[in-house]
Chain A
Amino acid sequence: MVLKTELCRFSGAKICPGKGIGFVRSDSQVFLFANSKCKRYFHNRLKPSKLTWTAMYRKQHKKDIAAEAVKKRRRTTKKPYSRSIVGATLEIIQKKRTEKPEVRDAAREAALREIKERIKKTKDEKKAKKAELLNRNSLIPDLHHLEYRLLNRECADKIST
C-alpha cells in the first residue's frame, strides 16, 4: 500500500510519507508543511507569494508556464456528434456529410442552371406575349384611331345636349 504524497501548503513541495509536520488550526483547517522551515515561516506570518522559492510565487510571477500552456491547448477539439433530427434522419445527415465537395459543387451548379433556365423561359414567354400584342395592334392601327374618333363624337354630343 502506497501512502499518498501530500503537497506542502506553504511551499508547494511534495511531502513523502513519514516526513513533514501537520498543523490543525482551531477552525478545523489542516496545514501540511514539508519541513520546519515552511512551518516556521507560516507561524511567523510570512507570505509564500513573496518568497521566491515557493510554488505560489512562481505561479504568480508566471515562471515556467509556457510549457504547460502548450500542452493544454490540444485537448479542446469537439467531436462531431451524429444524431437524427426531425427534419432529416441519420442516414440523410451522414450521406450529406460524406458527399464530396465536387459532387456538391456539381449539384449546386445544376440547380443554378435550372433556375436560370426557368427564369429565361418565363422571360421569353413574356416577351413573346408582348410581341404578339404589339403585332395585333400594329395590324389594325385605324381601330385605335376609330375608337378615339367615336369617343370624341360621343363627348361632343353630350356637351351639345
Chain B
Amino acid sequence: MGGLGNNFCNLPSTSSEMTCGSFLSQQQRTFIQMRTVLKVVDNSGAKKVMCIQALKGKKGARLGDTIIASVKEAMPNGKVKKGKVVYGVVVRAAMQRGRCDGSEVKFDDNAVVLVDKQGQPIGTRVFGPVPHELRQKKHVKILTLAGHIA
C-alpha cells in the first residue's frame, strides 16, 4: 500500500510548519520554535501548548530543552488553565537527536511536560516514552515519573 503511483508527493519539504499528516510525506523535521504546537503528556490539565520562546538555542529547541509556552487547550478541571504561560521540557521531538554513542533517535511526535520555574514537573504522571537525554539535563524527576524510558 506504500508503493502507490503518486510518487510526486514524496518531495522533501523543509518547512517545519507543514502539518501534512499523509503517510507518504517524508518531512524534514526541524527545531521547536515559536508557534509550534506541542502535545502535553502529563496530567497537569493542559492538552496542547504553543511554544512562545525556546530558551537556549538560536534556531529553536530540541529534545530535552526547556521552552516557554502558552496553553492553548486544557482539560476543564486541571491545575493549568487555558491562556496561561508555562515552562515545559521537551520530552519527544520529531527531529532526530544525536546520542553520545553516535546513533540518532527520533520520536513520532512533539511532546512536552510542564514544569515550574525550578524545573519540577507540575503534574504527577507522565505518559508515553521519554528519552535518556533528560538525565543529562538534570530532569531526573520526570524520568522517575515516566513509564517507559527509550
Closest B residue by C-beta to A20: B103
Closest B residue by C-beta to A23: B106
Contact status B107-A46, CB under 8 Å: no
Contact status B1-A17, CB under 8 Å: no
0/1 interface trace, chain B 13-48, chain A, CB 8 Å (1 if under): 000000000011010000000000000000000000
Give the residues in chain A near B148, CB-CB below 8 Å: 28
A25-B108 contact, Cβ under 8 Å, with A17-B102, A20-B103: yes
Q: Which of A24, A45, A46 has the most CB of B within 10 A?
A: A24
Query: Helix, strand, loop or mixed for chain A's interface?
Result: loop
B5 within 8 A of A: no
Contact status B102-A43, CB under 8 Å: no
Contact status A23-B105, CB under 8 Å: yes
A94 to B61, CA, bound (A): 76
Contact status A18-B108, CB under 8 Å: no
Contact of B150 (CB < 8 Å), options: A18, A28, A41: A28
Known: A21-B105, A24-B92; 18 extra A-B contacts, CB below 8 A, are A15-B103, A17-B101, A17-B102, A17-B103, A18-B102, A20-B104, A22-B106, A23-B107, A24-B106, A24-B108, A24-B129, A24-B131, A26-B128, A28-B129, A28-B147, A28-B150, A43-B26, A46-B3
The 5 A-B residue pairs with the shortest CB-CB distance, nearest first, are A18-B102, A45-B2, A44-B2, A28-B148, A24-B150
